[in-house]
C-alpha cells in the first residue's frame, strides 16, 4: 500500500483513517464531527490520495458546500504531490488524473442538478452539516454501484439533516457499517490541545459569539430553541447610570413604522458601554418621532461621538430629516447602517460576545428585557447562516437599537487606539 509522506496523523485523525483504510468496496460510512483547526481538510485530502493511488482506475470525489472550498481542496492536493504521478489536471473543473488511471474530482453543492449521474469509488463530503438534504439525495446514489465508502466530516450545526442523522446512527451502534468519530471526545483531548492550546481556546471563548464558539471550537450541536442572549441578565445594573456624568455618548436608532407598528427605539451608551438612556415609542408620525429624537440628541450634543441609524427602506429619509433638524454640524457623526443578513449577524454576534464577557451594562427596563429574552435564531445550512429575529408577535426594535449603539461604540470609541509618529 502507498502511504503519503509528510503526513503524520494525530490520534484523532488516525481514528478516522483506520476505519477507512481497508474499506474499499464495503459501502462503509464514517462520520467525523470536527471542531475548527483540527486538521480535517488535511486528513480528507490524504484519504482522497490514499484511495486514488492505491486503487487503479478509480474515481474519487469530494463535495464541498461552495466552489471556493472545492478550489481550496484542489490546490491543497495539487500543490502537495509530485507532478511525476499526475497524468493531467484541470484547474477549471477541479479534476486531477493520475498515471494509474485514477482521478480525484472536487465538486460543489452549488452545482445543483449538475451533480447527477456520477459513479464514485470513494466519496468525501466536506462540511457536511452545511449541505442541504436535497444535495445529499443527489450525491448519495454515486456510491451504490461500486459500494464506495463515504467520509462525512464537518463541524456540527443544527440537530437536523443527513449529517446529524448519520452521526446519531453511528453513535447508536445499531448499524455495523455506519460509524461516528467525534473529535470532542475525552480520549482525544490531549491531542487536540497540541493543535489548539487551552489558553488560545479561552481567548476565542471571550471574543467569538457563543453559538459560533460552541459549534466551531467545542464541536457541539445547536438546539433549534437556543437562547441568543442567554447571559444578558448578568449585565443589568438596577441602579442605572447618570447620563449627565457621561463623557462620551454613542447612540443607536432603529426606526419604526408609525402608529400601531414597530417601535422607534433609541439607545444611549457611554464611554464604558453603559446604557445611560433608553427611549422607544409607537405614538406619533415618523417625522414627529425624528424631531423628538433630534431634541434628545441636541440636549447632549457636546458629548455625542456617534449616532448609528438604520438606513434601510424609509430609514434613509429619516436620517436626512434628522440631519436637517440637528444641523450640518452633526452630519459627520451620523453613521447610516445598512442591515443585511450578514451585517445583522455580525452586530448581533458582537452583542452576544459583549454579554458573554460582561463588557456591556444595561438599564433594568421591562420591555428591553422581554425583547432580549425572547430573541431567537433560525438556521440556514445552505449558506451556513444563522438568522436572528423576534418571535411572531414580539418586537426586536430595542435589541437592534442596542446593537447599533454598541456597533458605534466599538468602531468610534478611541479606547485602545494609538498613533505612531515616524521621525
Q: Assign residue 377 the CATH number of its domain.
A: 3.30.420.240
Least confident piece of the model among 107-111, 336-340, 373-377, 415-419: 415-419
276, containing H or E segment: strand 275-281
Q: Could you report the per-residue pLDDT of 147-197, keeping only the tens digit for each? A: 999 999 998 877 778 998 999 999 999 999 999 999 888 888 777 667 767
pLDDT higher than threshold 50 for residue 118: yes
How many Cβ atoms sit within 10 Å of the Cβ of residue 321?
16
Asked whether residue 4 is domain-assigned, the answer is no
Confirm whether 250 is domain-assigned.
yes
Closest by CA position to 176, among listed 13, 34, 23: 23
**Residue 59: is its pLDDT beyond 90?**
yes
Q: Are residues 279 and 349 in the same domain?
A: yes
For residues 152 and 44, what is the distance between their CA atoms, to the nearest angstrom?
A: 9
- Between 185 and 99, the higher pLDDT residue: 99
Nearest to 399 by CA among 265, 247, 240, 220: 265
Q: pLDDT value at position 223?
A: 63
From residue 414, alpha-carbon distances to 272, 281, 305, 406, 418 in Å are 11, 32, 10, 14, 8
Of the three residues 150, 170, 187, the one that is the final residue of a domain is 187
The CA-based angle 283-235-220, given to 5 degrees, is: 110
State the residue range of the domain holding 347.
232-412
Rounded Cα distance between 315 and 264, Å, is 11
Q: Which pTM does this prediction carry? A: 0.61
Domain boundary among 187, 204, 219: 187
Please name the helix (run of DSSP H) or strand (run of DSSP E) that holds residue 27, with its range, or none. none
Three-class secondary structure of residue 374 per DSSP: helix
Who's near 318: CB < 8 A, 6+ residues apart?
Answer: 255, 286, 290, 309
DSSP letters for 126-171: ETGGGS-HHHHHHHGGGGTTTT--EEEEE---BS-HHHHHHHHHHH
Query: Residue 206 CB: number of other CB atoms within 10 A?
Result: 11
Please indicate, yes or no, if residue 423 is contained in any of the structural domains. no
What is the DSSP annotation of 178-237?
A: EEEEETTSGGGHHHHHHHS-HHHHHHHHHHS-HHHHHHHTS--PBPTT--TTTTGGGGB-
Alpha carbons 341 and 338: distance in angstroms, whole number: 10
Q: For strand 103-108 and strand 95-98, is the pairing parallel, antiparallel, or unpaired?
A: antiparallel
Of 187, 217, 243, the domain-final residue: 187
Neighbours of 238 (CB within 10 A): 7
Q: Which pLDDT tens digit goes with each residue over 41-52? A: 889 999 999 999
308 and 166 in a single domain? The answer is: no
In a domain, 262, yes or no: yes
Nearest by Cα to 272 from 337, 335, 362, 206: 362
Q: Identify which of 92-101, 238-247, 370-379 has the greatest average pLDDT.
A: 92-101
CA distance 20 to 150: 9
The total number of structural domains in the chain stands at: 2
Amino acid at each position: 500500500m502507498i502511504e503519503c509522506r509528510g503526513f503524520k496523523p494525530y490520534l484523532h485523525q488516525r481514528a478516522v483513517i483506520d476505519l477507512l483504510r481497508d474499506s474499499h468496496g464495503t459501502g462503509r460510512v464514517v462520520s467525523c464531527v470536527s471542531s475548527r483547526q483540527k486538521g480535517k481538510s488535511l486528513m480528507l485530502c490524504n484519504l482522497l490520495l490514499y484511495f486514488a493511488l492505491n486503487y487503479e482506475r478509480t474515481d474519487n470525489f469530494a463535495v464541498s458546500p461552495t466552489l471556493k472550498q472545492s478550489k481550496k481542496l484542489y490546490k491543497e492536493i495539487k500543490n502537495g504531490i509530485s507532478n511525476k504521478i499526475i497524468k493531467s489536471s484541470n484547474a477549471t473543473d477541479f479534476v486531477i488524473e493520475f498515471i494509474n488511471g485514477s482521478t480525484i474530482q472536487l465538486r460543489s453543492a452549488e452545482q445543483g442538478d449538475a451533480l447527477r449521474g456520477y459513479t464514485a469509488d470513494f466519496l468525501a463530503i466536506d462540511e457536511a452539516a452545511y449541505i442541504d438534504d436535497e444535495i445529499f439525495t443527489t450525491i448519495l446514489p454515486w456510491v451504490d454501484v461500486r459500494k464506495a465508502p463515504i467520509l462525512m466530516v464537518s463541524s456540527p450545526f443544527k440537530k437536523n439533516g443527513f449529517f446529524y442523522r448519520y452521526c446519531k446512527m453511528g453513535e447508536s451502534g445499531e448499524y455495523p457499517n455506519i460509524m461516528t468519530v467525534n473529535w470532542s471526545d475525552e480520549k482525544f483531548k490531549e491531542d487536540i490541545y497540541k493543535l489548539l492550546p487551552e489558553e488560545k481556546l479561552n481567548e476565542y471563548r471571550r471574543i467569538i459569539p457563543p453559538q459560533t464558539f460552541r459549534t466551531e471550537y467545542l464541536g457541539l450541536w445547536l438546539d433549534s430553541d437556543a437562547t441568543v442572549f442567554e447571559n444578558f441578565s448578568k449585565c443589568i445594573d438596577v441602579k442605572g447610570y447618570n447620563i449627565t456624568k457621561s463623557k462620551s455618548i454613542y447612540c443607536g436608532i432603529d426606526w419604526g413604522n408609525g402608529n400601531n407598528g414597530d417601535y422607534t427605539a433609541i439607545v444611549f451608551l457611554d464611554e464604558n458601554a453603559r446604557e445611560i438612556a433608553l427611549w422607544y415609542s409607537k405614538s406619533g408620525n415618523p417625522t414627529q418621532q425624528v424631531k423628538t429624537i433630534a431634541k434628545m440628541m441636541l440636549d447632549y450634543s457636546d458629548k455625542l461621538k456617534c449616532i448609528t441609524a438604520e438606513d434601510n427602506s424609509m430609514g434613509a429619509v429619516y436620517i436626512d430629516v434628522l440631519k436637517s433638524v440637528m444641523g450640518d454640524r452633526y452630519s459627520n457623526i451620523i453613521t447610516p447602517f445598512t442591515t443585511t443578513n450578514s451585517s445583522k449577524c455580525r452586530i448581533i454576534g458582537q452583542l452576544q460576545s459583549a454579554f458573554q464577557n460582561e463588557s456591556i451594562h444595561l438599564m433594568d427596563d421591562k420591555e428591553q428585557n422581554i425583547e432580549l429574552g425572547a430573541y431567537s435564531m433560525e438556521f440556514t445550512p445552505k449558506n451556513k447562516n444563522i438568522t436572528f429575529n423576534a418571535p411572531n408577535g414580539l418586537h426586536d426594535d430595542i435589541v437592534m437599537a442596542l446593537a447599533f449603539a454598541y456597533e458605534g461604540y466599538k468602531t468610534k470609541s478611541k479606547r485602545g487606539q494609538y498613533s505612531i509618529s515616524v521621525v
